Every structure is written in structure tokens, then in C-alpha cells.
Structure 1
């Protein structure tokens, strides 16, 4: 009897994936210099040495040869805004004028479904070109923007999270919402866990929500405990002072969210620059997670995130591009800036740690370990092919690498979208770099 090999694929390259955080475990990763990744029906079947696995393949299974390259799990970006794609790299002296002069006028257009879908298509293709297969995405206050994101994501079979932005004060009239969240609830029912889509309840940030809206948001999050929550906290010192004036009864900016029941597993907080030790401890205690967005923080002059303090508290940390205040869709470029921010704060981020934060670390932050993030058999097969010779400079530098750490460090500090040779989602090729 012949074996049906139609749904079986195999890929030969160096393989890297993580099963622990390199900052806290010596044996945190698996590395196969000559590896084989076997995919069946869109899920990982096996990952290991080519010499051991090749003989287990049924006759007729073609091995895609990526030798000289490195296969890693798809990158996971835990904080960015798809409607801000068209305003990336907009000049402003700080966060609040940047919102007023560029962000809000741009987001106004997303009541138009055609505009939303065209932007979502470009946005997702840009993510895939940069090796990002999962992201937590802010839409706008318009339900049409959420539909646009998830329709585009469904067409590509991506594991993507997103949600309708909530704000009912301190914003332009044309973007002002209410404390009635029935529209958000309808979107949860329409999209959450439909295919690979995941809904994120999305208050923009505390200053743009009344206490009534925050209370309603907490109730919605309680009613749908497996949804995600995403918002901003302690990004900018002027913003922190503003929150203190608006919520004088709360101990801290983070405590505003905690008071309304918005700190729990699957809650993702962007920035977290100005948290104090009690805040970091509360993040760890509740299973809430931090999205560190270094390119955005540097672009807006918001401050330098202290990853060592977060680690000392046991808080979950991941990386976010924060497009469009962030200046690149590339998680490699985001690693580059995260490394530099850590140095300025007196810490050191090894390349292995940065690749962990962009893969399994992000999956853990989102409570998705066991679904995505590494190559454990049964997981969804989202992976990318990294090319250490993608540019003349990278090729020259990596030719002199003596260790895996050195090669990964070169990719993180010198790499960009050109280093992504191919991107696969659920075992299907969704991007392939066109070579000159």
C-alpha cells in the first residue's frame, strides 16, 4: 500500500528553537547544524538532525534544500498598529503631538472598508516579508478596521490577534466611542478563535477612556477570559503625569488598569518604561506581559526600558515594533535597538536571548506556548528561513563567525527584511524573497 505524502513536507537547513529562556537556563535551546524540519498537515511532525530523520521519511517526499541558512520559528510581534502603516516616520517632538497631528487624522479613514482592507493587505505582506507570522495588532475605533484585518489574515491563514480601539474622551470627535461595548462583543463573537484569529480587547490608553468605559472593558474581559487585552502604559513621562491628574485615587498608571480588572494572563502592556518595582511585581503576579518597543521609544524620545528590572521581578517580556511610531517592521531591527537600549541601561542582551524574546518568549507572554513559538511536534508550523549571507556585509561578517551566538548577533545587528529568505505559515509558503 502506498503512503500518501501529499501533506508531508521536509526542509533541510540549520535549525534553532528554544524550550527555555536563555537568561535563566543553560540548556535553553536546540541547535541542529544540519537539521531537518518535517511538517505534516500544517503542523510540526519532527525537528532534529538530518542524519537521523531523513531515513524516516516515506519514499517520494521531496526535501526542500535550504542548506547554508537557518530555520527558526516565525517571529512574534506583540505590539503594533496596522492603521499607522501609511504614517510611519512622521516627524513630531513627542508622543502627544504625534498623536494629534498624524495618528488621529490617519485613523479617521478606516471607516471605509476598502481603505482598511487595502492597508491590511499591505501591512500583513510587510510583516511576512520581515518574517513575522504572529502579531498583536491595534485597529481603529471602526469595526470595519477589525473586519479588514481579520479578513486579510484569514486569507493568508495567519495566527493574528487584533481588536477595535476603545476611547471615549480626550480624542477627536470623529474617533470618539462610548462606554457601550456591544460592538466589541459582537466582534469577539465574529472573529475570536475563528480559524487562527484571536481577538484583543483594546483600550487605547487610560487617558482616552472614561472610568465608565474602563469598567465596561473589565467586565468584557471577565466575560471572555480567553481573549487578549492590549493597551499602553507608562510610555512617556508627560503621559504618566496626565494619568496621575485624571486618576488621582490610583497608586500608579498601571494600577488604573488593575483596578478595572485588566491585569491577567493574555494582557499585553506596551512600553512599561516608567513602571516602579511594585508595578513590575504586579505584572509578574498577574501573568500580564510587557511588550518592549525600543524603536518607538527612541523615535519619540519616550525613555529606555529596563529589561533587567523586569527580569528581576519575573515579569514576562517580549518585543514589539510599534509601527508606526516604531520605524521598522523588522524584528531583527527591533532586536538591534533593544540591544542598544539594554546597553544604555547597563544590561547586556545576548543574541540568543533576543531570538528567544521574538519567538518562544513572545509565545509565553501571549500564553500561546504549545500552539506556536518552537518546533515541538504538534505545534502549528510557522517558521522562517534566515539567510546569513543575504547582504555583502552580512556574508563577509558571518564568514568569520566562530559560534552560533556570533552569527545570530550579526543577523540581529546587521539584518533586515533582506535576511528573510522565506516565510511559512501553517506549513505553507507565504513569502519568498526575490533574489537579484
Structure 2
């Protein structure tokens, strides 16, 4: 192996389609596999036995026989400035925003603070095995610039955007439609499709944008091909009632966005808990996606998302942490809570389906599956090395695992950031955990 070509030998799992546990299709699992990465991209994947039979020297591999190697996790909805207000006590959505979130976001008027917090945020993503994310920053354009700059330095694939918010928020956090348009255009032209960066238009949610500002968002969405759009939809019952007061002419919450041309295959609406049948049909018709945020929905008391209803309608569903309403950066912890949310509705989340959602499924929902999400040849080599037994409890549980599904279910339900031993970006080591103490972790920058 050369400096531009490396081989990794481990237990390897990735997905080629929506997995079907009953017939074993939609995924590939190698009990002893080899992944070869060249110049940051996937060159080949096969069993160690097949590679050796083809003349490959297995001694060249970095060997992790007890670890599981998977594509990097993808988070479809997260707020970078909310790291410091995660698990803030005792409020539901609208009060939570006013009491905790908005005061903290005011601090991002300082560029130095924005840079420091962007670095901390990306460190925590990597520590949790998350290699790509769709991110809300703040209303301050410099906070978006800082996040893109820091992500570019680490070569991470990132989608982000400046929050557009011109009403129903503290004065210091409000922009204007004209300012939004000017600053968004500058950020788009600086960062969109530059390397691995993609821009996402980010009206916070309809109550904090005037009709004039939503019209600006629609105009920008039309003007720049390949843009994303991210916002919130039907998270909280009081929020839905507020929409009726603010937009009395709209058919419903979704119609507010629809009137301004904000639906489409690159639009991701977080939550989607309290949706009418008409809204479900319109989301499906336009190919618009919903980000399922279980830890946030439980913590803020918003409700339970009916995933089966949305999937049956053909709506793309991704899974997301929604920090800081969400209570963990770990997509493993998030999947564990998703399982419980669905159990309460007599639905089920197979571990193969859950891990698919966190990798290829999220890549597909974000229109990124041509680049990331699995180990197809020539895709970008973002991956994570998972320790299946980081503590006594998981070691005991894995010792009695009776099948691959059982192994993965134990990982999904008991796992968290401590299972992430290493995280790789474009084939290069970006994070490694030497032990369980903070001082023993290392980020490569």
C-alpha cells in the first residue's frame, strides 16, 4: 500500500438498497472483509479470502478483527449553535426557543466565537462517527462562513445555511428580506458546490419569516440549481395553531412553504409530526423529505412521528439528531429512541433498516447517494470503525448474540459515541479514541 492507497480488514457492513432481512437482500456483510481505499475513494470491497485468492497481500491491511467497519453516519437535521444549550430543562418548543436557543445564538455575532464553536461542533460530529450533516447555523452570515471554512479544512461533506429570520425573534437575531437575499447570495456564490460543500437555504420556520422573506427564499431556490432547503414543519401543536394565526389564507402549515415554491426533492422538513392527509399527499407529490428527530420530539414533548404513514405515502424519511432539542449527537442513540417511538405506535424498526437510514438511506434522502452512503467503487471513502464491546454490558450482550441482526440490534439499542473507535474522512483518519477518557481522544486536523 502507498500513502494514497490503504486497506482495512475488519467485519464490514454496508447497504446497496433498502434491506430486506427475510431474504438477505439490500446489504452486504463480510465477517472478514477488506476495504481498499485509493486517493480518498473506494477502490474495492471483498472478503479477505477472495482478496487473498486474487493475490492480494493481506499483511498490508490495517487489521481490526473484532470491529465493525461501516460507512460514516449522515445527520439530516442539526443546529450547530445549539451545542451549548443541549438538554436545557423544562420547556416545550416555543418557550424553549425564547428561553435558551435565541439568547445563545446572539453570541454568534462574534466571528471568533463562531469559528471556535464550529470547530467544537465538527469535533463532536467526528467523535460520534458522523461524517456528513445538514446544518442550521445562525442568522449571522459569518457563522455560516465559519462552519463552511472549518468543514473545508477537514474535507468533510457538509450542507449548511444562514438562518433567515425577520420577525418573532429578538431584535438582535432578526435580519430583513433584503439582508437575507444579499447575504445568502454571497454565501451561495462563495461556497455552494465548492469542494464538498453545498448550500441549504434556511428559513428557520414559517413563524419567524415574513411573507416577503419567504418569497426571497423561493426566488433564491429558483435562481441557483442544486441548492437545498431546510426548515421545520408541524413539530408542535401550539406551533401549528400559531401558523393559522400568522397565515390565515394558507390551507395548512405546508401550504405556507408551498405558496413560495419551497417544496421539492432537495427540501428537507424537520419533524412532520402533526400533518393532515392533504399535507402528506403534497409532500409525496413533490418528493419533499421529512427528517425524523426522535430524541428531540421526546425531549421537547412534541409528539410521536408516524413513520409508517409517511413511508406508505412515498415520502423520503431521513433520521436526524436535531441537537440541541435532540439529546445526543450519536445516531446510534437516535436510532434507539426511534425504535421506542415506533414501538409506541405498534411499528417496528429492524436494526438493518435503522443502520441503512443512518447511512445510504440518509444519503438518498439528501440526494447524495452518488457520492456517499455505501462502499460502491469510486464513492468518497467516509467510514467509521465501531467497537462492538466498549464496556462490560455490551461485551456481555454481544457474547450471546445469535445472529447478525441480533448483533446489530444490540449495537443500535446499547451503542453510543463510545462505540466509535475511529472516523475516516476521504480515507484519512480524522478521529480516534484511544480509551474512555477525554484526554485520550485525538482529532487529526
Q: Which TM bucket (shorter chain)?
A: over 0.9
Any residues of structure 2 matched to 1:110-129 within 5 Å, and which? 110-129=108-127
Query: How far apart, in 2, do the equivalents of 1:280 and 1:273 lie?
Result: 11
In the alignment, the residues of structure 2 paired with residue 260 and residue 69 of structure 1 have an alpha-carbon distance, to the nearest angstrom, of 48
Shift of 1:193: 1.3
CA distance in 2 between partners of 1:178 and 1:141 (Å): 10
Structure 2: gaps of 5 or more residues: 437-445
Aligned to 1:183: 183
Q: Are the structure 2 counterparts of residues 47 and 148 from structure 1 closer, same or farther at C-alpha, using a change threshold of 3 Å?
A: same
1:233 corresponds in structure 2 to: 233
Which residue pairs with 2:356 in the alignment?
A: 356
* Deviation for aligned residue 1:162: 0.6
RMSD, matched Cα: 1.5
Change (3 A) 1:278 1:21: farther
Q: Within 1, Cα distance between the matches of 2:425 and 2:338?
A: 26
The 2-side partners of 1:198 and 1:377 are apart by: 23
Alpha carbons 2:52, 2:58 under 8 Å: kept: no
Per-residue deviation at 1:244?
1.2
Which residue pairs with 2:253 in the alignment?
A: 253
Query: Alpha carbons of 1:57 and 1:71: their partners in 2 closer, same or farther (altered >3 Å)?
Result: farther
CA contact (8 A) 1:16 1:71 kept: yes
Change (3 A) 1:400 1:24: closer
- The answer to whether structure 1 residue 21 and structure 2 residue 18 are counterparts is yes
Tell me by how many angstroms 1:61 deviates. Answer: 7.7
Q: CA deviation at 1:284?
A: 2.1
Q: Name the count of aligned residue pairs.
A: 433
Aligned to 2:391: 391
- Residue 280 of structure 1, CA deviation: 2.0
SS at match of 1:69: strand
- Higher mean alpha-carbon deviation, 4-13 vs 360-369, is at 4-13
Q: Is the 8 A contact 1:10 1:36 kept in 2?
A: yes
Shift in Å, 1:285: 1.9
Cα pair 1:5 1:61 within 8 Å, conserved: no
Counterpart residue number, 2:49: 51
Alpha-carbon shift at residue 115 of structure 1 (Å): 0.4
- 2:154 and 2:48 map into 1 onto residues whose CA distance is 30
Match of 1:193 in 2: 193
| Equivalent position SS for 1:136 | strand
Tell me if structure 2 keeps the 8 A contact 1:5–1:60: no
Instruction: Give the Cα separation in 2 of the matches to 1:43 and 1:219.
Output: 36
Deviation at 1:282, TM superposition (A): 1.9
Deviation at 1:268, TM superposition (A): 0.8
What are the Cα deviations for residues 185-244 of structure 1, in whole angstroms up to 9, with x where unaligned?
Answer: 110111111121111100000000011110110110111130110000000000000001
1:143-165 per-residue CA deviation (whole Å, 9 max, x = no partner) reads 11001111110111100111100
Query: What are the superposed Cα offsets for residues 11-56 of structure 1, whole Å, 9 maximum, x if unpaired?
Result: 0011111111126994111111111111010000111211112455
Separation of aligned partners in 1, 2:237 and 2:266: 26
Q: What is the aligned partner in structure 2 of residue 425 from structure 1?
A: 425
**1:75 is matched with which residue: 73, 76, 84?**
73
| Gap change, CA 1:113 and 1:57, over 3 Å in 2 | farther
Tell me the TM-score normalized by structure 1. Answer: 0.97
Does the 8 Å CA contact 1:9/1:61 hold for their aligned counterparts? no
For residue 158 of structure 1, what is the aligned residue in structure 2?
A: 156
Report the alpha carbon displacement of residue 337 of structure 1 after superposing the two structures with TM: 0.4
Q: What's 2:99 paired with?
A: 101
Deviation, 1:257, is 0.8
Q: Would the alpha carbon gap of residues 149 and 196 (structure 1) be closer, same or farther in structure 2, given more than 3 Å must change?
A: same
Change (3 A) 1:25 1:118: farther
Query: Which secondary structure state, in structure 1, belongs to the residue aligned with residue 126 of structure 2?
Result: helix
What per-residue deviation string (whole Å, max 9, x for no partner) do you get for residues 97-133 of structure 1? 1100111100001111110111111110101000000
TM-score (norm 2): 0.95
Q: Distance in 2 between matches of 1:231 and 1:152?
A: 23
